[in-house]
Amino acid sequence: MDNPMNVLAIVGSVRKGKATDILVDKAIEGVTSGHLNCFVKKVNLIDYRIGYCRNCLTCRDSETKEPVAKCQIRDDMDFLNEDLLKSDSLILGTPVHMGFATAIMMTFLERICWTFAKPEKNILTLSGCPLPRSDKKRKAVIIVTSGIVPPIYRIFCDKATPLIRGTIRDSLNAKTIDSMYAGDIEHRGAEYYFDKAFNLGKKLV
Ligand SMILES: Cc1cc2nc3c(=O)[nH]c(=O)nc-3n(C[C@H](O)[C@H](O)[C@H](O)COP(=O)(O)O)c2cc1C
């Protein structure tokens, strides 16, 4: 029997049942096809009450030894933080909105930025940059969908992937092992990318 693995899939689309949501489901199928002892939780951020980070910096400046510092805001991030703590692997999906991640994905990332990280104190390196509070290592894959721009022009229309990759590395100690850009989805349809998403999920195992 495989070692137990907790996978958390996070969907940053404002639309359920559409391209990003469907491709994240395919990636989940890929994970579960290759791992028999795998618990998957899927979260559509649109279903959660997530307030904007207010830049009070209480979490950043917290000296806690816990893997997550307390945020001043009481909302559904309390539950999502518990899911993140349990997770061994992550699937993150977002549509491209104006070349970037969606506002809800961005709001979520801002909220984990300093709760799961503390400022780097080593003066020889970039002092003040976020360092994960926990040593727990995670793996991640990222799925980005875009309506019009095809994959060949990804470089001009995908600031979402580096943003997500950097944030989950610095806050959640998560290594992004691969990502996919499902471009021109308005014309190609999500089906065009099913195999790619499935295989991406398999890579997490
Ligand atoms: C506000 C907004 C901005 C968008 N910006 C872009 C863009 O810069 N490039 C692009 O190709 N598609 C853009 N799109 C289209 C979405 O990326 C596309 O519809 C995507 O497949 C939506 O994902 P979903 O089906 O999971 O909702 C934008 C859509 C919205 C609503």
CA distance 189 to 187: 6
74 Cα to the center of ligand 1, angstroms: 30
Determine the pLDDT at residue 93.
98
Whole-number Cα distances in Å, 131 to 51, 99, 147: 23, 27, 34
CA distance 107 to 12: 10
- Atom of ligand 1 lying closest to residue 100 CA: 8
Q: Which CATH number is 176's domain given? A: 3.40.50.360
171 Cα to the center of ligand 1, angstroms: 27
Determine the pLDDT at residue 123.
65
Q: Which residues of the chain have pLDDT under 70?
A: 1, 123-127
Query: The pTM is what?
Result: 0.96
User: Residue 167, exposed/middle/buried by CB under 10 A (0-12, 13-18, 19+)?
Assistant: buried
97 Cα to the center of ligand 1, angstroms: 5
| Secondary structure, 3-state, the chain | CCCCEEEEEEECCCCCCCHHHHHHHHHHHHHHHHCCCEEEEEEEHHHCCCCCCCCCCCCCCCCCCCCCCCCCCCCCHHHHHHHHHHCCEEEEEEECECCECCHHHHHHHHHHHHHCEEECCCCCCCCCCEEECCCCCEEEEEEEECCCCCHHHHHHCCCHHHHHHHHHHHHHCEEEEEEEEECCHHHHCHHHHHHHHHHHHHHCC
Query: Which protein residues touch ligand 1 with a CB less than 6 Å away?
Result: 13, 15, 18-21, 95-99, 145-149, 157, 185
> Domain tally for the chain?
1
Determine the pLDDT at residue 127.
67
CA distance 110 to 98: 18
185 Cα to the center of ligand 1, angstroms: 9
Determine the pLDDT at residue 120.
85
146 Cα to the center of ligand 1, angstroms: 5
Determine the pLDDT at residue 37.
87
Determine the pLDDT at residue 125.
62
- Domain of 39, in residue numbers: 5-203
User: Please, how many CA atoms are within 13 Å of residue 155, restricted to the half-sphere of its CB?
Assistant: 1
* Among 100, 148, 184, residue to substitute to test ligand 1 (most atoms within 8 Å of Cβ): 148
Nearest CA to ligand 1 atom 12: 147
CA distance 81 to 112: 8
9 Cα to the center of ligand 1, angstroms: 20
Nearest CA to ligand 1 atom 25: 19
Determine the pLDDT at residue 128.
79
